[in-house]
Amino acid sequence: MGRKYFGTDGIRGQVGVYPITPDFVMRLGYAAGKVLARERCTLKPGEHPVVLIGKDTRLSGYMLEAALQAGLCAAGVDVRLVGPMPTPAVAYLTKALRLQAGIVISASHNPYEDNGIKFFSSTGEKLSDEIEHAIEAELERELVTFSSDELGRVKRIDDAPARYIEFCKSTFPFEQDLRGVRIVVDCANGATYHIAPSVLHELGAEVIPINHQPNGTNINDHCGATDTAHLSAAVLQHKADFGIALDGDGDRVMMADANGRIYNGDQLLYVIARYRKDTGKLKGGVVGTLMSNLGLQHALGRLAIPFVRASVGDRYVLEMLAQHEWQLGGEASGHLLCLEKHTTGDGIIAALQVLHALRETGTSLAGYTADLHMYPQTMINVQVDKYVDLKSASIQQAVVEVEADMGDHGRVVLRASGTEPLVRVMVECAEAAQAAAYAERVVKAVRMVAKG
């Protein structure tokens, strides 16, 4: 059964356009409160469920936070506010404080005009499909406010940033530090602006923060993990050893070396996996996605590290990790999961794992990834007016022919967008020009089918 409102990462859209409106978000808070109260059976009689709310730095966060509070309180749920905090911080605090759920108001890497709502369970994990279905079902029912003496109350947790900073530091070996290391950190004018610099500074690094002055509208604005030009330039300008770029809600990371060269999620995942393999700390294998670079797969194979692909989205990476009982996975976009450290993807913690590996081995990012040869990728978004059967004979024939030409040195990925009338065609192979030419062959077949 499909979900009406929830996507792969909560509910997201343009502010002021349904469903990201105050009235809907209030009803969402009420529905979530009712469902989560039922899910938590350990509450004592008369005891209220407690839900934590965090947000990123978007101006619309104030409005949506107030709407969520109203809905939750109307359902008899107490609320704890932490203000601007990274998404993984909300997951951690929800679990650490033994609360019933955590809610993040964020649209992650999207521009400030968008916003969204993400949920975490009491264990700091994303909600199951069953609970999301239950919340959607509750949304269809009438909102009936609890009696005045049963309404929820709201309190603020003032020391939330300090708690999370200490948690991040705890994932870095106590016997190691970052003294003598100069690091530029790009906070994307987002939720990590008051967290990431402090974590790195308290571990001993000389920290140069950039894009750390959010004003409500500059989140992800030509900065952070989705636009790393500023990071490269700042690393060179300040003669830094490393650069770290996070996205607006802190669950993605990209890094730069001293030459300003950018390393994406696939490359950083390789560093962590290789180090753990070399030190006997890798449990099982690595989970990537359909979009993970073929070069990563081949490089891990040379190290005898098992590799499997999940559907695109950290939600599906997490599900695949649980299925295999592994700990390490991620996406090229910078969502990296180290499940022995945290229950969800965390940009700061992932960066710390990379820095630990490099400090321990005394190598550079370039040196440690020298055996990782990334394949050029060509991505083309094909605009369509109607549903396109990607399994149609002509499309599959084009794919088979292209993959036969490439052999083991390339692949084709076709995906229909879940939010736009697009078919995404991705081809990767050893040569960039060949990837582009092969992609055009597949695109031609898709367009022919789309025209009918």
Do the first three CATH levels of 163-261 and 263-368 match, i.e. the same topology? yes
User: What angle (nearest 5°) sits at the alpha carbon of residue 209, between those of residues 361 and 269?
Assistant: 40
> What does 167-230 look like in DSSP terms, one character per residue?
HHHHTS-TT---TT-EEEEE-TTSTTTTTHHHHHHHTT-EEEEES----SS-TTSS-GGG-THH
pLDDT for 40 equals 56
Cross-sheet strand order for the sheet of 410-416: 377-383, 422-429, 410-416
What are the residue numbers of the active site? 108
Cross-sheet strand order for the sheet of 307-310: 307-310, 286-289, 328-330, 336-338
Q: How far apart are CA 174 and CA 166, in angstroms?
A: 12
- DSSP label of 385: S
E strand map for 274-420: 286-289, 307-310, 328-330, 336-338, 377-383, 410-416
Domain boundaries, the chain: 11-158, 163-261, 263-368, 377-451
pLDDT digits (tens, 9 = 90+) for 239-293: 999 999 999 999 999 999 999 999 999 999 999 999 999 999 999 999 999 999 9
Query: What values do phi and psi take at 50, rounded to 5?
Result: -125, 130
Whether 118 contacts 103, CB under 8 Å: yes
The rounded average pLDDT for each run of 10 residues, N- to C-terminus, in the chain (452 residues) is: 81 97 98 82 78 98 98 97 98 96 96 97 91 95 95 97 98 97 98 98 98 98 97 98 98 98 98 98 97 96 98 92 98 97 98 98 98 96 91 95 94 84 93 96 95 82
Count of helix runs (H) and strand runs (E) in the chain: 14, 18
pLDDT for 129 equals 86
pLDDT for 39 equals 64
pLDDT for 9 equals 85
Q: How far apart are CA 378 and CA 400, in angstroms?
A: 17
pLDDT for 37 equals 73
CATH 3.30.310.50 fits 377-451, yes or no: yes
CATH 3.40.120.10 fits 263-368, yes or no: yes
Amino acid at 106: S
> Which pair of structure tokens corresponds to residue 418?
């879940």
Q: Which CATH number fits domain 11-158: 3.40.120.10, 3.30.460.10, 3.40.50.300, 3.40.190.10?
A: 3.40.120.10
Residue 141: strand, helix, or coil: coil
pLDDT for 53 equals 98
Q: How far apart are CA 103 and CA 53, in angstroms?
A: 5
* Fold held by 163-261: Alpha-D-Glucose-1,6-Bisphosphate; Chain A, domain 3 (3.40.120)
Measured N-to-C along each axis, helices 432-451 and 393-406 cross at an angle, to the nearest 10 degrees, of 170
